Amino acid sequence: MTTVTNLVTTLVARWKAARERREAIGYLSTLTDYELADIGLTRADIVAAVDGVRFADRANEHFSTVAAGAAANDRTALARAA
């Protein structure tokens, strides 16, 4: 019986979290571009902001990916030159 209770509790919690996420995205989507800019967002940032993604983290991930690609290209160029 405890397993069923835990399952129901988990499902209800996930449903509530999904509903709150949809409501937050919906609310932020109703704001004007000026209002979004006032809180440091653009329309493209709404989902990430609601999901709690920090923008600095996204930038760091991007630069890490770019750096890894550049390093791979350098290794390939060195291998061809040898």
SS3 of the chain: CHHHHHHHHHHHHHHHHHHHHHHHHHHHHHCCHHHHHHCCCCHHHHHHHHHCCCHHHHHHHHHHHHHHHHHHHHHHHHHHHC
Q: Which tens digit of pLDDT belongs to each residue from 30-48? A: 999 999 999 888 999 999 9
pTM of the model: 0.59
Q: Where are the domains of the chain?
A: 1-51, 54-82
| Rg of the chain, C-alpha, whole Å | 21
Q: Which tens digit of pLDDT belongs to each residue from 15-33? A: 999 999 999 999 999 999 9
Nearest to 20 by CA among 51, 45, 44: 51
